[in-house]
């Protein structure tokens, strides 16, 4: 995930300009080390007019993802008014410490009051922002800045995303649906895709195009030649056709109705396409789970690692563990090293092709975004963590056993009492701090069980 930051350092010449300039230069170096591109003024911006001129030019020429506004000294609220008038980008408001504190010492910068003044104006305007306080050389500030930059980037991305929904969710899978207006409060737009039309287009894909999709599996999927090849060919045709549709319409992720029509009308399993998409960085969910694929997208952006969407199908009180499973979808890269990702047939329909493997071991974060049943019209985010155990595949399909280091039966009961959706998404990273920050930005209720 590339990140371009606009750094807007503001101040007044009536304060200690020497100390302010030192902080300014240190702050630029920090942001340059944390981002791909950092656009900043040559010196402190000393007036609302200078600030507006710089921001306008920066937006036109560099298109940043996030604005970091540092009140290097006290400033009045006209500075932030100019910035908000010109841009609706996420704002990280940053205050620094007084360089000298003592009996009768001059108040050198008064940055804290500047932050207070600007935050008052931002809130009064109805805008969201994140607050950081500390010097650019402080380790805690560096960690918090890194978290907030990634999250602010994601907040901006969500506003422009399109989610493809390929067919309606299966009968009775009400949790897979999403209310478009509520979803629009976060940003993404739902694009309905016709499943039968996708099958028709897949059947028209040229043999040469399909062979490219099969070739892309080399070194990623084992035992591909040991299953009926008709399922492999249909995977290749369908993936090629769907990928063309997503690119043509600018769709960033897709929720797929994977049964029963895939089996009855197309004669293949959707699992392999879902797995391949996730492995390539395009998030995809089965059973047309819209909030499930959104959870995956959020995890992927924050962790830069492939997530796994699965049902909680078994608990073991002797190990305080639970098994997350699905019938045959999972990014190839998540397979245990000793087996790798193995091609197989759907455990119920006996149609190919699907994935057969146990997931690798490692620390995981487990999340689920969905409507909050206790506060209608709002969202909540499940936040759990655990350890994916070094255990072999538990059931046909793909599965992972997660140890929770806490009594698992009360945890399971709590999940049920809270009414969480059956699909949980896990990712191999600790993203709790990022998730907390995202919840603040988007008014999700963080649910930590």
Cα 369 from Cα 42, distance rounded (Å): 42
Residue 178 has pLDDT above 90, yes or no: yes
- What band does 375 get if pLDDT is binned at 50, 70 and 90? very high
Q: Residue 13: what pLDDT? A: 96
- What band does 112 get if pLDDT is binned at 50, 70 and 90? very high
51 SS3 class: helix
- What band does 102 get if pLDDT is binned at 50, 70 and 90? confident
109 SS3 class: coil
Token pair for residue 4?
């371009």
Beta strands in 62-181 (DSSP E): 66-71, 91-95, 129-133, 162-166
Beta strands in 179-307 (DSSP E): 189-193, 221-222, 253-256, 283-285
Beta bridge partners of 427: 365
Residue 53 has pLDDT above 90, yes or no: yes
What secondary structure does DSSP assign to 347-380, as a single string?
A: TTT--S-EEEEEBPPEEEEEEEEEE-TTSTT-EE
Whether residue 150 contacts residue 304, with contact meaning beta carbons closer than 8 Å, is answered with no
- What band does 106 get if pLDDT is binned at 50, 70 and 90? confident
Q: Residue 252: what pLDDT? A: 96
209 SS3 class: helix
For the chain, what percent of residues have pLDDT higher than 70? 100
Mean pLDDT across the stretch 104-129? 95
b/e per residue, 17-41, with b = 16+ CB within 10 A?
bebbebbbeebbebbeebbeebbbb
Cα 89 from Cα 64, distance rounded (Å): 8
Cα 33 from Cα 39, distance rounded (Å): 12
Whether residue 434 contacts residue 377, with contact meaning beta carbons closer than 8 Å, is answered with no
Convert the pLDDT of each residue in 133-172 to its tens digit. 999 999 999 999 999 999 999 999 999 999 999 999 999 9
Query: Peptide bond before 353: cis, by omega within 30 degrees of 0?
Result: yes
What contacts 97, CB < 8 A, 6 or more positions away? Answer: 111, 133, 134, 135
Q: Residue 329: what pLDDT? A: 97
- What band does 294 get if pLDDT is binned at 50, 70 and 90? very high
Cα 152 from Cα 297, distance rounded (Å): 15
The yes or no reply on domain 4-158 and CATH 1.10.260.40 is no
Residue 116 has pLDDT above 90, yes or no: yes
- What band does 124 get if pLDDT is binned at 50, 70 and 90? very high
Convert the pLDDT of each residue in 404-437 to its tens digit. 999 999 999 999 999 999 999 999 999 999 999 9
The structure's pTM equals 0.96
What is the bridge-based pairing of β-strands 423-427 and 308-316? antiparallel
Cα 188 from Cα 182, distance rounded (Å): 10
Q: Residue 104: what pLDDT? A: 79
Q: Residue 88: what pLDDT? A: 94
What CATH number should be reported for the domain whose range is 162-448? 3.20.14
Q: Residue 306: what pLDDT? A: 98
Q: Residue 42: what pLDDT? A: 96
Cβ atoms within 10 Å of 429's Cβ, excluding its own:
19
Whether residue 429 contacts residue 337, with contact meaning beta carbons closer than 8 Å, is answered with no
Residue 105 has pLDDT above 90, yes or no: no
Residue 1 has pLDDT above 80, yes or no: no
Distances (CA, A) of 319 to 221, 322, 401: 31, 9, 10
Cα 193 from Cα 201, distance rounded (Å): 12
Distances (CA, A) of 313 to 69, 323, 366, 383, 399: 47, 6, 15, 19, 10
Convert the pLDDT of each residue in 209-220 to its tens digit. 999 999 999 999
Cα atoms in the Cβ-side hemisphere of radius 13 Å centred on 358: 19
The structural domains of the chain, with segments of one domain joined by +, span 4-158, 162-448
Cβ atoms within 10 Å of 126's Cβ, excluding its own:
7
Mean of the per-residue pLDDT values of the chain: 96
Cβ atoms within 10 Å of 105's Cβ, excluding its own:
10
């Amino acid at each position: 995930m590339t990140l371009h930051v606009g750094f807007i350092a503001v101040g007044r010449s009536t304060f200690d300009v020497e100390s302010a300039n030192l902080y300014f230069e240190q702050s630029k170096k920090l942001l340059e080390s944390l981002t791909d591109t950092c656009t900043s003024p040559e010196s402190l911006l000393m007036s609302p007019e200078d600030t507006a001129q710089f921001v306008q030019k920066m937006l036109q020429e560099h298109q940043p993802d996030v604005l970091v506004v540092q009140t290097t000294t006290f400033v009045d609220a006209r500075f932030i008014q100019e910035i908000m008038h010109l841009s609706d980008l996420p704002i990280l408001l940053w205050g620094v410490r007084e360089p000298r504190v003592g009996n009768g010492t001059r108040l050198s910068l008064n940055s804290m009051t500047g932050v207070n003044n600007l935050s008052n104006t931002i809130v009064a305007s109805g805008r969201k922002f994140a607050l950081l306080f500390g010097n650019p050389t402080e380790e805690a500030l560096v960690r918090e800045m890194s978290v907030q930059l990634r999250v602010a980037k994601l907040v901006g991305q969500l506003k422009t995303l399109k989610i493809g929904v390929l067919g309606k969710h299966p009968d009775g899978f009400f949790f897979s649906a999403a209310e478009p207006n509520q979803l629009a409060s976060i940003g993404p737009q739902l694009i309905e895709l016709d499943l039968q039309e996708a099958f028709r287009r897949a059947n028209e894909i040229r043999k040469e195009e399909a062979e490219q999709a099969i070739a892309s599996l080399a070194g990623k999927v084992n035992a591909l030649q040991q299953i009926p090849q008709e399922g492999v060919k249909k995977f290749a045709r369908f993936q090629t056709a769907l990928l063309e549709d997503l690119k043509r319409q600018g769709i960033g992720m897709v929720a797929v109705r994977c049964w029963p029509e895939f089996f009855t009308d197309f004669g293949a399993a959707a699992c392999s396409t879902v797995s391949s998409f996730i492995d390539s960085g395009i998030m995809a969910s089965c059973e047309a789970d819209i909030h499930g694929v959104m959870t995956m997208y959020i995890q992927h952006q924050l962790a830069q690692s492939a997530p796994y969407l699965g049902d909680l199908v078994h608990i073991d009180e002797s190990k305080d563990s639970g098994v997350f499973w699905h019938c045959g979808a999972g990014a190839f890269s998540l397979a245990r090293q000793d087996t790798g990702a193995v091609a197989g047939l759907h455990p119920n329909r006996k149609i190919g092709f699907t994935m057969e493997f146990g997931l690798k071991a490692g620390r995981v974060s487990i999340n689920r975004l969905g409507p909050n049943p206790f506060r209608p019209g709002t969202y909540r985010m499940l936040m759990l963590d655990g350890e994916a155990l070094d255990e072999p595949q538990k059931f046909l399909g793909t599965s992972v056993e997660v140890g929770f280091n806490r009594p698992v039966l009360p945890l399971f009961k709590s999940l049920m009492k809270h009414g969480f959706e059956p699909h949980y998404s896990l990712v191999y990273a600790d993203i709790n701090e990022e998730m907390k920050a995202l919840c603040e930005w988007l008014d999700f209720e963080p649910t930590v069980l």
